[in-house]
Amino acid sequence: MTARMSPNCRRLCRRPYVGVHMSIIIKQDSDIKSSEITPKSVYLDRRKFMQRTLATSLLVAADSMLPAWAKKYPDARWPDLAVNSHSVSDQPNSFEDITTYNNFYEFGTGKKDPHKNAAGFNPRPWSITIEGECAKPGTYDVEDFFSSESLQEYIYRLRCVEGWSMVIPWVGFSLSDMLKKFEPTSRAKYVEFTTLLDKTRMPGQARRVLRWPYVEGLRIDEAMNELPIMAVGLYGEVLPNQNGAPIRLVVPWKYGFKSIKSIVKIRFTETQPVTTWNQTAPQEYGFYSNVNPDVDHPRWSQKKERVIGRPFWEPKRDTQMFNGYAEQVAHLYSGMDLKKHF
């Protein structure tokens, strides 16, 4: 391959230097005085200093990304997590993409509203009430649900019902493992999840955009599948406020609105929960809301998706059935008409 010069560069290179004499002296080893040689010990000390300075700079930068409330917690980071076997090989989106482009109507309806309006939200202390058809109901502190040893990194695809997608490296733990601890009874056919209701801390709830509090639900066999997780972080750190701090659901084969955020109540029920979007617009948002390119939204196609972070001129990507997780979840819907039960 031949390198080309720009026209400006060629003009400069042809222009002679007038009145300037330059000489370059390269010393031989024998010409260098011992006083000019940096002692090895000093060189190593300088190198260590530079490494420490770099490490400190990185730590300061990382601290700046933590929510204000999390900076006083020593366990706000998990740097060496095992990657769960169900993680995809797709390149995750940047931290900026994930934290500045998302839906969380409790903090506003614009994509950047959650990042802006959730900055002062403090999700500590935080408790979750477990109730309904189970042997061990009660109210538990959020830290009772997991330990650092139980956490893994789950690199999952996220597909929004609006037609865009991301790949997110969540930090979390198995939903099914957590639910089993409360010993659901044989009458528990569904699991209902509820978000915090607090208009002062979540200013978006002051507007009647939806019926508050936000509620979502899963069939019990969906909840007990190996894929759903309770996420408490992303990119090895605690969840940013705008992404559902301190704890949220992630169900990767369903549209994003099923992955409810900032959960304060989990209830085992015998009947199908009345969920927020399904109640608001039942012809547009079904209870199941599985990612399905063959079932369009009434107002747009679901066959393709815009990948956030990619150049705008790139063509949209084909949407996969169950968001690419058919192998793990298709059996849950065997014999069901997925166009009817969308």
Query: Does residue 66 carry a pLDDT above 80?
Result: no
Q: Lowest mean pLDDT: which of 72-86, 109-123, 174-188?
A: 72-86
Q: What is the pLDDT of residue 92?
A: 97
Helices (H), the chain: 7-14, 40-65, 95-100, 113-117, 175-180, 220-223, 276-280, 326-329
Summarised one tens digit per residue, pLDDT across range 248-304 is: 999 999 999 999 999 999 999 999 999 999 999 999 999 999 999 999 999 999 999
* Span 154-158, average pLDDT: 98
Instruction: Tell me: pLDDT of 220 over 50.
Output: yes
User: 75-333 has which CATH code?
Assistant: 3.90.420.10
The pLDDT mean for the chain works out to: 85
Note the pLDDT tens digit of each residue in 158-199: 999 999 999 999 999 999 999 999 999 999 999 999 999 999
d(CA 211, CA 299): 22
Question: What is the per-residue pLDDT for 35?
Answer: 38
Question: What's the average model confidence in pLDDT over 12-26?
Answer: 38
